[in-house]
Structure 1
Amino acid sequence: MAPSNASARRAASSPAANIFLFLLAFRILNAFTVRTFFQPDEFFQSLEPAWQIAFGKDQGAWVTWEWRHQLRSSIHPLLFAAVYKTADLLATTLQLPSATRAELLIAGPKTAQAVVSAIGDFYTWKLATRIYGKDSRGAWTTRRWEDLARREHRADKGQLLVTILNPWQWFCSTRTLSNCLETTVTIVALDLWPWQWAAGSLSDGSRKDGRGTVEDRALLSSIRKCLLLAALACILRPTNILIWATLASFALLRTSWGNRMILVREVLICGSAVLAVSAVADRLFYGFWTFPPLRFLYFNIAQSLAVFYGRNDWHYYLSQGFPLLLTTALPFALWGLYQTLTFRTFSVSDRLQTETRIQLAVICLVMPFVLSLISHKEVRFIYPLLPSLHILAAPPLVQYFSPVIYYRSSHAYTPQRLLLIFFIFANVVIAFYTSVLHASGSLNILTYLRRQHEVHANGQKASVFSSASTANGITAGFLMPCHSTPWRSHLVYPTIDAWALSCEPPIGLTETEKAVYRDEADQFYDDPAQFLRDNMAGGLRHLPRRPSYVSPPDLAHPESQHPWPDYLIFFEQLEPTLQTLLRGSSYGECWRTYNTAWHDDWRRRGDIIAWCLDTTEQDNWRETQRRSRSTNTREFHLDRMIDAIKNEASRAQPKKGWKAFLPSASFSYPWSPSQPTFAAKFASWRRAVKAYFAPRPSSFWTLGRPAPNIRDLVPRWSSLRSYLPERPAWLGGKSRKKILERELWS
């Protein structure tokens, strides 16, 4: 029996291992596809303090006010600090160049977060498998919802499909936000939670001896792992306690007295252990004893500092939160919630599954309700609920779309089939736009600055860990709303001396002072001219003429003022203002990148532009733009010529029989048995035109010859006409030249 049991275990674990490997590869691809900016906390609450932990305080990390006031736990940055140290050790061992080392340091956190995301997806599938059963093939043919509720057809696979195709999951799960780690830790803990206690049932395979089922070693080990992870989630985000307080209430009310004692005992033990580890980590990070969760609640609730970052309507999570999380799966999730909270089963075998789904539905309602009482709201605050919503949305989705797969040849389910195609297409388009295009300039501009630093480092070896005082690099200033781009995690080189507008909250001020408080970014956008006069070294009268890597600036300035940088970065919305204020200065455009087609913040609209002091870079950029416009113009005219030739050939080709009534023409139709096909002539003519317009060598432009013009083709048209077919006599020869010239030059 032992060998057969081992074989059965291997057979059962093989599909799970394959699914995990697939999810891991999928999320790694996901992580390196996401090239857009979402929330500043993705970098400033994880990667920036991690950079400081790994490399020291002199390496240029931007540590925000939350860390100076001990609002955050250091456990999350410690994870990425270990990743940074590992990547640095690997680069040192392999003796990688500085540019390659910088790319490795950027890719390390992405890879780590991809693994975390894959684990979350895998345990969501595991919990769905536990709830809906490993096999229920009979539901393929059932039409009644009551039968489907008892035997959901592969609802675990439906949940897996929903998770993979969810645009929000693609957009957010591989980002280094604490909410993403919180979501993964929460779903792993939910898979280990003793659901049978709240259902009032016994654990599977447990012993019914005098000590009771709670003494089963496997169950007790599972409970301890669950509570340790739940405590970690609450340390990461204190609001996560709403989930576990709700589940603990179910368990304490429905289980036996002995189980209650066990649960209370394990909560105290596991919670104390996690708090002790967190306290030691924070002591090492901050240098003194502190308790970040308590300070987080004090600053954000007692002092209402969260309101400083925006207020939202009470229905925000209903009108925007759930739709953004679920997108096309929203109707199925709502129906799943309704069906779960109103459905009852009397079968003993289904009772545990039903109670589990009910508890998941309850936490999906309790957490948004409580968080709606707080003025400041964000979608990512309820992100830990998304796996549970996916599980609840799976049965209605499978019920609705399963006939499309089962009855493939039937036309009765064409509407469902078209709707499924539309859902998949919409999800793919949304995921692509948000992860590749929208707000992509915030990361592209830092890539540009890194490359410029590698070029202008005064011939020095651009070491990643060189001290800013011993190496000379470029300087950059960001006239943007605060935290509009990542920082040292993407600048990498500490010798890039950069500054940006800040937005410190009104800490320690009275209510009257808070009402009129304006941070540095607000002051700049209120009056850019006055801000630059008062807060820039030299004001608007003494501006540098050459970049700092050519000649260091002689002008000393107080710490309260910003120095004029080599590269000035801003959004396109600000371009007319700066053109007026800096007219006559040495600043000029040297790079521009697309950011977004629209933005809800008027200050962040348009492209991201880089102005620099280096006139050589400005000239190179202007030449690049001129060549790009010239190339686009030539391609435009060439396309118009080709379209004109096609239209002319379409009208000139004779048609016989019923084909005379068709508007289209075939380019391979021979004009006569002895002549070559028009397709061959047209291909030869197109090669001749492309050769004429091909880019010339650099010497062509330096000899003073003008760029080729489309009208230069006129003297050569006689040679090109030989490639065109003769117009039939019944159309007349003279009209051919008039029509052709009119379409070419119109």
Structure 2
Amino acid sequence: MSELRRRRRASSTASLSSNSAASSHSSDPDLRPASPAASSFSALLSTPPSVLRVFLVLVAFRLLNALTVRTFFQPDEFYQSLEPAWQAAFGESHAPWITWEWRHQLRSSLHPLLFTAVYSTANLLARLLRLSPAWQAELLIAGPKIVQAIIAAAGDLYTWRLACYVYNPLSQEAWAALALTVVSPWQWFCSTRTLSNCLETSLTVAALCQWPWEWSSGPSTTTGSDEPEIKVQTNEEQPDGDSLTRFRRCLLLAAVACILRPTNILVWMVLAGVLLYRNDWPRRAILVREALLCGSLVLSVSATADRFFYGFWTFPPFRFLYFNLAQSLAVFYGQNDWHYYVSQGLPLLLTTVLPFTIFGLYRSLSQPTAGAFNKLQASVQVQLASVCFIMPLALSLISHKEVRFIYPLLPSLHVLTAPTLAKFFGPAVTTGSGRYFPRRLILSFLLLANVFIAFYTTVIHASGPLAVLSYLRGQRQLHGSSNIADPSQSGITAGFLMPCHSTPWRSHLVYPTINAWALSCEPPVGLNASEKAEYLDEADQFYADPDKFLRANMVGGLRRFPRRPTYNDYRRPRQLPTEYQSTSPHEWPDYLVFFAQLEPTLRSLLRFSSYKECHRTWNTAWHDDWRRRGDIVVWCMDPQEQGSDLQRQRESRDRRFDDILQTIKGSVAGMGKQSSPRPWSSLFSGPSRPWSWSLPWQHRRRTTIFGIELPSWMTPSSKTSKWLSSWKLPSWEEWDRRLNDRANWA
């Protein structure tokens, strides 16, 4: 450990002890004795934490996070990582969906190769344990989530460690930064997804922890106006071994992050500019030398991996910049206002702590170098705040914007927010004074709001895409073979009339015996400006005119439909998944999947087909894309599947309605012959039959009380039969259902 770090730790410990002593001797009459919870919290702050213990707790937390996410966020979560990884692990015969970016070598193979190893390991484990096909599928789906949970936990850990470096390891600010990343709704929603931005974020904050901040803090640092000056090594001195080792680790992590996402270089351009500006030429030469060595090493590994993945030499970062900047293909996927990151990006990242973050950024840029923080700590905060301003500003110049592009800034924003949050809520947590009761209420409200946002976005909103693929896997288990890996075996077929990439693909279909096709959205690669202006992809063509599209792009158009599913029609030739997916025009599938807003259109176009609804799953209550609104509906042509629970429920309701009509007619006819004290009771007495005083158990039927059947030993005798008959009422569900039927009939 360097002399500087030892002195900083000793100074931090002394400062913390003096602050604790000062607070313990405070004579504020409004302060009451701390509550047990506050005492335990204070003890936590005064106890040196175990890094390994904190990491294990974070891993357990993120595993729970990853395995409970049930919603769809971005197609890149699957199509830029899991689909190419599936192809590398199992081959093209499984028909993964490979997007145009991979066909034109725009993406680095390092990220998919990570999940390729995960898939291979999970597949080997499933074979060794001899798991059933259903359990094999669940293991292959859960494997990437588990790995990403560990990566997310590492990001949380390094956020806390960066806060420990910027402030003091045992300070409230450091614990506040850890609490912020743990309770962040965005972190719960996004950090465990297999997006390259999530790995980029963890790599960035880990690299920031290794960055030699003392080299860019000036010739010396001070701990305050009343404390002696702590000297830092001058520019003429060579860097010590510990700082140089940390710098090399930082460069390696930063280089990998830039390979994954070239826009990450904006972070390091700001920090490197400060570092070069505040050092002389000998130190600059060392910095350039180390950057070239570490960058060359990472580029060599990446180029070798790309050669293995693509089959030829290529350089994805250059092709990424060429296609997205020179050809402006990113605009094809949407344009945003110049203020998107200010008006939408940062509010989505920070949610309830946005006001505290704004004040924290202002405080970091305007605070004096002396006082509560020494010069080095103030310098680190200024540099982090500068990165948080410059990166969104630079990305705002690009037309296509997404909130996940600035996701790597979130750990730094949490670190800069921590002092403001600790100052405002710290006394309310560590003391039992009643004067801080309003702040406790505010804190409770913010925590409840975070929990609600996290739950809604990860369990409810846009939950249909994953649920419908789970349904298709279940149908394949009913109608397919028991071999999970042989694409030539019998299975099912599915077609997705949805905007492109609305659901995951082979990473969640899993079985190669699920032959599927979907509407594509290839960008206008190689077209001129006029051709790009008139270009419509396959999904746009369908939604512009569904009638015309189905007539031109489906086998038989809208006149010839198959009458039986493929798994019941042995005369139809069996196609391999790759052939079925790429064949045009498309085959009419066994299962047709679409959003509910398209249901009236398809009901009109397919009225002469054998398609009927067989499954419906909730998706979302609202959506910014009108094409994705409503439930996700599955139509099939198998009559047995169409007689599902939903269909049987409707048929049962119709039969009950007919029974009610017959009962009413019988009651009216019986009233002309004999009087009854309660003629209306026959309306709820069950199946229709002539009016009679015969009791249910006289016909060997079991007695029900409020819709609950009684066992035989509780069958009443003749003495109590009249008493029980007066208490025989239908259940609440039966009341509600029959009243609805009466309303519909009226």
Do Structure 1 and Structure 2 share a fold, with TM-score over 0.5?
yes
Q: Once the two structures are superposed, what CA deviation does each residue of 1:603-659 show, in whole Å capped at 9, x if it has no partner?
A: 0000001101110010123455449979x99xxxxxxxxxxxxxxxxxxxxxxxxxx
* 2:464 paired residue among 431, 434, 441: 441
Q: CA deviation at 1:415?
A: 2.3
**Aligned match of 2:732:** none
Is 1:105 aligned to residue 140 of structure 2? yes
Displacement after TM superposition at 1:60 (Å): 1.4
Over 3 Å counting, the alpha-carbon distance change for 1:398 and 1:102 in structure 2 is same
For residues 594-605 of structure 1, what are the structure 2 equivalents within 5 Å? Answer: 594-605=618-629
CA deviation vs aligned residue, 1:439-464 (integer Å, no higher than 9, x gap): 0010001001011001101xx32x22
Does residue 67 of the first structure (1) align with residue 85 of the second (2)? no
Match of 1:135 among 170, 181, 192: 170
2: CA distance, partners of 1:155 / 1:101: 45
Distance 1:616-1:696 versus aligned 2 partners, 3 A rule = farther
Deviation string for 1:133-175 (max 9, x for gaps)? 0234xxxxxxxxxxxxxxxxx1111111111111010000000
Structure 2 gap segments, 5+ residues each = 1-5, 11-45, 223-229, 658-701, 712-719, 730-738
Counterpart for residue 142 of structure 1: none
Q: Give 2:708's match in structure 1, choosing from 686, 694, 697.
A: 694
Contact persistence 1:167–1:428 (CA under 8 A): yes
Aligned residue in 2 for 1:418:
441
Q: Give matches, 1:43-192, under 5 Å.
A: 43-136=78-171, 154-192=172-210
Q: Deviations over 1:529-548 (max 9, x none)?
A: 11000000110111000000
Question: Is the 1:544–1:553 Cα contact (8 Å) retained in structure 2?
Answer: no
1:368 aligns with 2:400: no
Q: Secondary structure at the match of 1:413?
A: helix
In the aligned structure 1, how far is the partner of 2:84 from the partner of 2:417?
38
TM-score, with structure 2 as normaliser: 0.79
For the pair 1:565 / 2:589, whether they are aligned, the reply is yes
For residue 553 of structure 2, the aligned residue among 532, 535, 538 is 535
* Post-superposition offset of 1:21: 1.0
User: Structure 1 residues 317 and 349 mapped into 2: Cα distance closer, same or farther (>3 Å)?
Assistant: closer
CA displacement, residues 302-361 of structure 1 (integer Å, 9 cap, x when unaligned)? 111000000000000000000000000101111000111111213697111110011000
Sequence identity (%): 60
Q: 1:553: Cα distance to partner? A: 6.0
Q: Are 2:613 and 2:642, in contact at CA under 8 Å, matched by a contact in 1?
A: yes
Closer, same or farther: CA 339–619 of 1 in aligned 2, 3 Å? same
Question: Which position in structure 1 is the counterpart of 2:485?
Answer: 465
Provide the C-alpha distance between the structure 1 equivalents of 2:379 and 2:370, rounded to a whole number of angstroms: 11
Aligned match of 1:432 in 442, 451, 455? 455
- Residue aligning to 2:473: 450
Per-residue deviation, residues 39-94 of structure 1 (Å, max 9, x unmatched): 00000000000001111111111110000000000000000000001101111111
| Matched residue, 2:518 | 500
Unaligned runs of 5+ in 1: 137-153, 634-687, 698-714, 725-741
Residues 181-580 of structure 1 aligned to structure 2 (within 5 Å): 181-201=199-219, 214-346=238-370, 350-410=374-434, 412-457=435-480, 460-461=481-482, 463-466=483-486, 468=487, 470-552=488-570, 554=572, 559-580=583-604
Q: 1:551 to 1:338 in 2, by over 3 A?
A: same
- Return the letter of the residue paired with 2:707: F
Contact 1:201 1:352 in 2 (8 A): no
For 1:68, the aligned partner's letter is R
Q: In the alignment, residue 450 of structure 1 is paired with which amino acid? A: R
Shift of 1:507: 0.5
> How many residues in Structure 1 have an aligned counterpart in Structure 2?
624
- Indicate if the aligned counterparts of 1:533 and 1:539 stay in contact, CA closer than 8 A: yes
- Compared CA separation, residues 535 and 211, structure 1 to 2 (3 A): closer
Structure 2 residue aligned with 1:651: none
- Kindly indicate whether the alpha-carbon contact (under 8 Å) linking 1:314 and 1:372 is maintained by their aligned counterparts in 2: yes
Alignment correspondent of 2:30: none
Q: Cα deviations across residues 199-247 of structure 1 (Å, max 9, x unaligned)?
A: 025799x999999654422111111110001000000000000000100
3-state secondary structure, aligned to 1:346 = coil
SS of aligned partner of 1:549: helix
Deviations 1:680-727 (A, max 9, x none): xxxxxxxx9974513899xxxxxxxxxxxxxxxxx9995476899xxx
* SS in structure 2 of the partner of residue 478 of structure 1: strand
2:631 counterpart residue number? 607
CA contact (8 A) 1:40 1:484 kept: yes
Deviation, structure 1 residue 13: 7.6
Residues 14 and 344 (structure 1), Cα distance of their counterparts in 2 relative to 1, 3 Å cut: closer
TM-score of the two chains, using structure 1 as the length reference: 0.79
Residue type at the aligned position of 1:67? W
Please state how far the C-alpha of 1:421 moved relative to its aligned partner: 1.1
Q: Say whether 1:591 aligns with 2:615.
A: yes
The partner residue of 2:71 within 36, 44, 69 is 36
State the distance in 2 between where 1:442 and 1:475 align.
17
Matches within 5 A, 1:597-676: 597-626=621-650
TM-aligned CA deviation for residue 584 of structure 1: 2.4
Checking the alignment, whether the CA contact within 8 Å between 1:207 and 1:216 is kept in structure 2 is no
CA contact (8 A) 1:202 1:213 kept: no
Give the Cα–Cα distance (whole angstroms) in 1 for the partners of residues 561 and 539 of structure 2: 21
Structure 2 residue matching 1:489: 3-state secondary structure: helix
User: Cα RMSD between the aligned structures?
Assistant: 3.0
What SS does the aligned partner of 2:614 have? strand
Q: Which amino acid aligns with 1:612?
A: C
Q: Following the alignment from structure 1 to structure 2, what is the Cα–Cα distance between the partners of residues 255 and 625?
A: 77
CA distance in 1, matches of 2:62, 2:587: 42
Q: Partner amino acid for 1:434?
A: T
2:684 maps to none
The answer to whether the Cα contact below 8 Å between 2:221 and 2:376 also exists between their aligned partners in 1 is no
Cα 1:552–1:71 change in 2 (3 A) is farther
Shift of 1:559: 3.1
Give the Cα separation in 2 of the matches to 1:491 and 1:228.
36
- Contact 2:303 / 2:315 at 8 angstroms: preserved in 1? yes
Task: Give the Cα separation in 2 of the matches to 1:311 and 1:34.
Answer: 29
Aligned mates of 1:26, 1:202 — CA distance in 2? 41
Alignment match, 2:15: none
Cα separation, partners in 2 of 1:63 and 1:261, compared to 1, 3 Å: same
What does residue 647 of structure 1 align with?
Answer: none
Distance in 2 between residues matched to 1:591 and 1:396, nearest whole Å: 50
Given the superposition, is the C-alpha separation of residues 199 and 484 from structure 1 closer, same or farther in structure 2, using an over 3 Å criterion? same
Give me the whole-angstrom Cα distance separating, in 2, the residues matched to 1:60 and 1:356: 49
> Which one-letter code corresponds to 2:456 in the other structure?
Y
What is the CA–CA distance in structure 1 between the aligned matches of 2:530 and 2:185, rounded to whole Å? 43
> Shift of residue 403 of structure 1?
2.3
Residue from 588, 605, 613 that aligns with 1:581: 605
Distance change >3 Å, CA 696–CA 374, structure 1 → 2: farther
